[in-house]
A and B are shown apart, each in its own frame.
Chain A
Amino acid sequence: MDFEPLYLTFKLAVVTTAILLVLALPLAYWLSGTRSKFKPILEALVTMPLVLPPTVLGFYFLVALSPRNPFGQWLSENLGLQLVFSFKGLVLASLVYSLPFMVQPIQAGFSALPKSLKEAAQLMGKSRWAILKDVLLPNIKPSVWTGIVLAFAHTIGEFGVVLMIGGNIPGETRVASIAIYDSVEALDYASANTYSLILFAITFSILLTVYAINGGYLKTQRT
């Protein structure tokens, strides 16, 4: 039994989730408060990966990042980045693919807070950063957790995008979902079952924990 695909899957999910958190917080904050006319365009773009077939996304990534095309060539020559069929490429594709899962819950959390909280802090002379850190974020913790978990779980479940841009290179891009597909193709149902069972158990435990925490079931009941 080869555990590398599982390790790679979780590595990809952890890296993607961490980067997404840093990117999505300011983006969601901006989207929740802005009246810019670009907002609907940006919102549509952020949400696209929810409805597009992953293969479409993967296909365009493949085309754009291929060293045969200008952008891919530029990346390769100037930054030394070879993104197609590499782990880095998987991370980039996963960032886009899981973006809505991180942005939307956080944006909804920000939007649900009464405007007066931010205004009160503003009138106390607090900087934008202090308002975000000390007032807004502590009050949308459940939304942030939801975003983290959904982005993590969604990255674990990736298949189409990974297959298109990463292929099936052991130790580099062969994540669990690909390994399962591969095992089934090779009629190795035992391995496919082990991978599947582990993914099933882990994702179920993560989601269960989050729903239990957000629903307050783990807190001591107060009267």
Chain B
Amino acid sequence: MISAHLVKRLQGTQGIFHLDVALEIPEGKLVTLYGPSGAGKTSILRMLSGLMPPDDGSIEVNGMSWFKGNDKLYVPSRKRNVAFVFQDFALFPHMTVLENLCFAMSQRDEKQAQELLDFVDLKGLQAVKPHSLSGGQQQRVALARALAQQPKILLLDEPLSALDFDLRKRMQHLLRKVHDRFGYTTLLVSHDPTEIMILSDFVYHIENGKIIAEGKAETLFENQNTILTTGTVLEITPNENGFAVHLKIQDSTLVIELSDEKGKALQIGDTIELGPRK
């Protein structure tokens, strides 16, 4: 169980704002931080991992105190055993894939590293250096390396944002598989409602440094009447559930899954309205 109250003055694109959030993350659950860029989501991960000191508040993990603003208590990142999958993956360029995993372990265990690589579908790539891998492969190495650390908390900072649609889908399933098998307490940062629906047990919606809504993904995205907008259909691809429809909404794109019936009625270039489920 992680309970954290984090207070921090942050510099955003729109100027200075105050982050003030209280999070409860039950042991073994996957919780998502959702919200626009610059809301403070990555900063929350950095504060939990010890890479950024909060100005005030407290962090408690399984009854152990990692940070207490009043008492000047601060456990350094080195001693927290938190695994962080960075947006740029942060793979060590001079080490092979296997070395990257072994380096993350407290006790070197090549056999286990190999098993993890098999688990994330990277069999046969153990001797390769990261720069010769594709983006999706690097992503999986980063994930396997985080697992090799056997962390108390797993932090995933928009791990899928750089991947194309098909890879994203595969990675979402892999992340679900990882969570079901290893059961690490996981905090995920994501922009993608579909992804959040598939993966999360609980969601915090964060804007401007504050939690504006929280709950289970299904209820949260149903009840929010703030996401009432229109989108232009860019692409329609059939998949096992019906259709995956890529939409352009203002400056970003969104992928939604639609049933056969609804998907067939759409054409590229159509404008559709998105709103709360009635």
Q: Which A residues fall within an 8 A CB radius of B?
A: 114, 116-117, 119-127, 134-135, 138-139
Q: How far is the CA of A122 from the CA of B79 in the complex (A)?
A: 9
Residue of B86, B93, B104 near A124 (CB, 8 A) is B104
Q: Hey, what's the 0/1 contact readout for B161-183 against A, CB within 8 Å counting as 1?
A: 00000000000000000000000
How many residues of B sit at the interface, in one of the four size bands? Answer: 20 to 34
What's the nearest-Cβ distance from chain A to residue B44, in Å? Answer: 15
A117, B79: Cβ atoms under 8 Å? no
Chain B binding surface SS class:
loop
A125, B92: Cβ atoms under 8 Å? no
Q: How far is the CA of A135 from the CA of B94 in the complex (A)?
A: 8
Q: Which B residues fall within an 8 A CB radius of A?
A: 49-51, 77-84, 86, 88, 90, 92-94, 103-104, 106, 149
Residue of B49, B51, B79, B88 near A125 (CB, 8 A) is B79
Chain A binding surface SS class:
helix
Beyond the given pairs A123-B50, A124-B149, A126-B78, 13 more chain A to chain B contacts, judged by CB atoms under 8 angstroms and listed by A's residue number, are A116-B86, A116-B90, A117-B90, A119-B51, A120-B86, A120-B90, A122-B77, A122-B78, A123-B77, A123-B149, A124-B104, A125-B78, A135-B92
Residues of B close to A116: CB separation below 8 A:
86, 88, 90
Residues of A close to B103: CB separation below 8 A:
121, 124, 134
Known interface pairs A124-B104, A134-B103, A139-B94; A119-B78 also in contact (CB < 8 Å) = no
Among A125, A126, A138, residue most surrounded by chain B Cβ atoms (within 10 Å): A125
Chain B residue with Cβ nearest A113? B93
Residues of B close to A127: CB separation below 8 A:
78
What's the nearest-Cβ distance from chain B to residue A156, in Å? Answer: 31
A-B contact pairs, 20 of them (CB 8 A): A114-B88, A117-B90, A119-B77, A119-B84, A119-B86, A119-B90, A120-B84, A120-B86, A120-B90, A120-B92, A123-B77, A123-B78, A123-B82, A123-B149, A125-B106, A127-B78, A134-B103, A138-B94, A139-B93, A139-B94
